[in-house]
A and B are shown apart, each in its own frame.
Chain A
Amino acid sequence: MTLNDIWFLLFVVLIAGYLILDGFDLGVGILHLLVAKNDTERRLVLNSIGPIWDGNEVWLIVGGGVLFAAFPLAYASLFSGFYLAMMLVLLFLILRTVAIEFRSKRKPKGWRTLWDVVFSLSSLFIALLLGVAFGNIIAGLPLDALGNIHINVFELLTPFPLLVGISAVAMMAMHGAIFLIMKTDGELQQRVKGYAPRLMIIFFVLNTLVVLAILLFQSQTMENYNGTLLLGVFPAIALVALIVAWRMVRAERYFSAFVASSAMIALLLFSGAIGMYPNLLISSIDASNNLTINNAASEENTLVVMLVITLIGLPFVLAYTAGVYYFFRGKTELTAESY
């Protein structure tokens, strides 16, 4: 395993951390208007993620920073190529943040409804856009010899990426529903309990379509699997994790269901990463333009320094993140500090 391999793995781990953690709070946002019917319920939903959503979003920011440091050429090509799409992601990230903070600061019903809608729609669009971006990365992009991607925002909205986008929305909604059941009780919880199995079925169908589309139309990401069939255990265990999550939801063991659903998200991402490896961005023009973990990476010196920084920092991050989640465990209650 080379230094570049380690960095690819670390980057994937960071993105997996983001998808698992922000995944459920985006999911909670997507479900916000559907499950919460009055002001108290909406505050409960909002406060279920209140103390933790910001820490979750940091995983995305750090993912961006790590991509910049470890694979600067991929960072530069990706975000300049996805310019307006990324602008929309930023717009929704900003709106979502202020919606959470502003909503309960004023009493009028119109004010609160406005920010409820902003919170929910921005959560939905962030999930959708990130999914579309993943879809495009898998499908390949018109990457020229200098690493530039000339594409406009509408050309990103082709059927396969859109399918991945919708599937991502379903995945996060499902993941968020399981989380929300753990954090709520009473009528609100009953309503979420009604949604959870349906969302799981919808996600299962959509994700199966994504897998079929990859098998049929995205052969560029199948080479590693064809070479080493054993790698198929990753998507296979992802499927097992989804089945476990389903059974745990049925058995009303929601913490176990949440763990299974988290594992499934990580395994799906790993399965995708295996398909991409060693490419970071695949060129639809010429395979020699591909940006890989080798030709897009920083020099050894930087990668070593960054590895030391990460090995010092990450154990602390995991320790206090776990501590904070432990502290705020249990059903959400509204207090003077709540949103």
Chain B
Amino acid sequence: MNPEMLSRLQFALTASFHYIYPPISIGLGLMMVVLGVLYIRTKNPLWRQMSFFWVKIYALVFAMGIATGVVQEFEFGMNWADYSRFVGNIFGSLLAAEGVFAFFLEGGFLGLMLFGGRRLGPRMWLFATFMVAFGAHFSAVWIIMANSWMQTPGGYTVATTATGARAVMTSFREVMFTPSFLSRIGHVLVSAWMVGTSLMLSVSAWYLLKRQHIEIAKAGFRISVLLFFILSLIQLFVFGSESAAVVAEYQPSKLAAMEGLWETQECAPMTLIGWVDKESGATRGIQIPCVLSFLAGGSFDATVVGLNQIPEELWPPLQMTFQAYRFMIAFGSLFIPIGLLGVIFYYWQGRIFKMRWLLWIFVLSVFLTEAVTMAGWAVAEIGRQPWIVFGLMKTAEGISPTLSTEQVVASISIFIFLYIALFALFIFLLNAKIQHGPDPLEEDKPVSALPDTFREVFGRARTS
């Protein structure tokens, strides 16, 4: 294999492994804010006990996110030097803005969130938690801006210099708000909130099955099950379908591969299950007529561009894009009935707490939300190929000219061994923490005695 293919594999590996964690930082971050608000409003110590439990899990997940995220900041320069040279003006400034606005926020307040629970009053602790969660969301905003620029570039002009072409910024507003940005950021944030709520549902369902920590498990369902259901609806009917429509308009080659559509046609069908047969130029499987036209163009007789209208060298890998998309749609849609059953049987006198089969489905839900999120990214990134910046620069043109096969083999081997070991340790420690369960709430001193305003925090000598 050549350095380009190896670098693509390495980037896919490191980015995918990294992206196990940020959706939890975002989604569980939101739930941590909810817990903090509930405690302040009700003064019920149950919410405080839950915060102390979940913040430990948050710490572990966040550490994994930091450890694997550092790689991303430098990998563009290491493996994709010509890409970095070409897009530095634009892509670099979005990454730098993410650092200045979001990473510092997370990094600054994380210590207060993780170590401040018994030193800060509930309001100040909530403030720190909110800032970390806000930082995680804000980080997603900038990185989706950057990625959306790679999908549907805007606000630039290409200038020629002595050492090659450069994309130069003409409008920062257009760079930030490219045509795909708004639907994609909605899609990404909702998916992250679904991962966060499903993690809470999963752990709560596990406790109910094991008949442990019943109060906390029921409270976990109470705050997340309805939210999870609503999010699953929004995801499919608002941001999911809107993202598909944007792809249809701006990235026809990606849409054709996602749907395995060969002929440009009106009333294009959508395949539910199937496979793309590249040899014979056909897609086989169960198809519903005209649905794709409706999703892509808003009416059942809208014209959708097929692969045969696009030169073959501009096709993305067909089977992978097609199957990743099928996987995302199939399991993403499944969250609606799962959520609905959860909502019905939770609010119907809490019958769900006795329904073991449904609880087992909720235990598994977090693995599904994570897997579906991965599949979504696979569609977005594999479907963009052969472009690194859609329509502007090929992936092959972005590679570092100095890179040798041996170098990338060495680095990818290190990453594979390291990440397998880290993932095993992460699951081991996460499982240990979940099995251990929430600790009983022990306060060294009454909550009301903790400093709970800026003046109290900064205006007096620390008493501990």
Specify which chain A residues have a CB less than 8 angstroms from the CB of B100 in the assembled complex: 62, 65-66, 309-310, 313-314, 317
Specify which chain A residues have a CB less than 8 angstroms from the CB of B74 in the assembled complex: 64, 79, 86, 90
Identify which of B63, B76, B108 contacts A321 (C-beta below 8 A). B108
* Given A79-B78, A98-B64, residue A337 in contact with residue B99 (CB < 8 A): no
Q: Does B109 make an interface contact (CB < 8 A)?
A: yes
Q: B203 to nearest A CB, angstroms?
A: 17
Contacting A at CB under 8 A, from B8-36, are none
Q: B385 to nearest A CB, angstroms?
A: 21
Decide: A87 and B411 in contact? CB cutoff 8 A. yes
Specify which chain B residues have a CB less than 8 angstroms from the CB of A77 in the assembled complex: 81
Decide: B81 and A79 in contact? CB cutoff 8 A. yes
Contacting B at CB under 8 A, from A280-339, are 298-299, 301-302, 305-306, 309-310, 313-314, 316-317, 320-321, 323-324, 326-330, 333, 335-338
Identify which of A58, A73, A83, A337 contacts B411 (C-beta below 8 A). A83
Decide: B73 and A305 in contact? CB cutoff 8 A. no
* Given A93-B70, A146-B401, residue A75 in contact with residue B115 (CB < 8 A): no
Specify which chain A residues have a CB less than 8 angstroms from the CB of B401 in the assembled complex: 80, 146, 148
Decide: A55 and B411 in contact? CB cutoff 8 A. no
Identify which of B69, B169, B433 contacts A299 (C-beta below 8 A). B169
| Docked complex Cα distance between A278 and B292 (Å) | 57
Digitize B160-183: 1 where CB-to-A-CB distance is under 8 Å, 0 elsewhere: 000110101110100000000000
Digitize A147-169: 1 where CB-to-B-CB distance is under 8 Å, 0 elsewhere: 11110000000000000000000
Decide: A80 and B77 in contact? CB cutoff 8 A. yes
Digitize B284-310: 1 where CB-to-A-CB distance is under 8 Å, 0 elsewhere: 000000000000000000000000000
Chain B interface size band reads: 35 or more
Decide: B114 and A76 in contact? CB cutoff 8 A. no
Decide: B110 and A72 in contact? CB cutoff 8 A. no
Q: Which stretch (A46-54, A242-250, A267-275) binds chain B? A: A46-54
Contacting A at CB under 8 A, from B369-405, are 400-403
Decide: A62 and B104 in contact? CB cutoff 8 A. yes
Specify which chain B residues have a CB less than 8 angstroms from the CB of A299 in the assembled complex: 89, 159, 166, 168-169
Digitize B403-419: 1 where CB-to-A-CB distance is under 8 Å, 0 elsewhere: 10001001100100010
Contact count A vs B, C-beta below 8 Å: 245
Identify which of B59, B107, B168 contacts A55 (C-beta below 8 A). B107
Specify which chain B residues have a CB less than 8 angstroms from the CB of A314 in the assembled complex: 100
| Docked complex Cα distance between A78 and B104 (Å) | 24
Q: Which stretch (B236-244, B253-261, B343-351, B456-464) binds chain A? A: B456-464
Specify which chain A residues have a CB less than 8 angstroms from the CB of B78 in the assembled complex: 79-80, 83, 86-87
Q: Does A100 make an interface contact (CB < 8 A)?
A: yes
Specify which chain B residues have a CB less than 8 angstroms from the CB of A324 in the assembled complex: 108-109, 111-112
Q: Does A255 make an interface contact (CB < 8 A)?
A: no
Specify which chain B residues have a CB less than 8 angstroms from the CB of A81 in the assembled complex: 402
Specify which chain B residues have a CB less than 8 angstroms from the CB of A116 in the assembled complex: none
What is the size, in residues, of chain A's interface with B at 8 Å between Cβ atoms? 75
Decide: A320 and B411 in contact? CB cutoff 8 A. no
Decide: B462 and A323 in contact? CB cutoff 8 A. no
| Docked complex Cα distance between A72 and B90 (Å) | 10
Q: For residue B112, which residue of chain A has the nearest CB? A: A324
| Docked complex Cα distance between A301 and B172 (Å) | 9
| Docked complex Cα distance between A309 and B101 (Å) | 8
Decide: A83 and B67 in contact? CB cutoff 8 A. no
Specify which chain A residues have a CB less than 8 angstroms from the CB of B88 in the assembled complex: 68-69, 71-73, 75-76, 298
Digitize B37-66: 1 where CB-to-A-CB distance is under 8 Å, 0 elsewhere: 000000000000000100000011001101
Specify which chain A residues have a CB less than 8 angstroms from the CB of B104 in the assembled complex: 55, 58, 62, 313, 316-317, 321
Decide: B111 and A58 in contact? CB cutoff 8 A. no
Decide: A68 and B66 in contact? CB cutoff 8 A. no
Q: Does B95 make an interface contact (CB < 8 A)?
A: yes
Q: Does B92 make an interface contact (CB < 8 A)?
A: yes
Q: A243 to nearest B CB, angstroms?
A: 33
Specify which chain B residues have a CB less than 8 angstroms from the CB of A146 in the assembled complex: 163-164, 401
Q: For residue B91, which residue of chain A has the nearest CB? A: A68
**Residues of A near any B CB (own CB < 8 A):** 50-52, 54-58, 60-62, 64-66, 68-73, 75-81, 83-84, 86-87, 90-91, 93-95, 97-98, 100-102, 105-106, 145-150, 298-299, 301-302, 305-306, 309-310, 313-314, 316-317, 320-321, 323-324, 326-330, 333, 335-338
Q: List, sorted by A's number, 9 A–B pairs whose CB atoms are closer than 8 Å.
A: A51-B114, A73-B163, A80-B79, A83-B79, A101-B64, A320-B105, A320-B108, A324-B109, A336-B442
- Given A309-B97, A327-B462, 5 new contacts (CB under 8 A): A51-B110, A54-B106, A58-B106, A79-B81, A102-B425
- 9 shortest interchain CB distances as A-B pairs: A72-B88, A51-B111, A79-B77, A68-B92, A62-B99, A69-B92, A101-B63, A55-B107, A80-B400
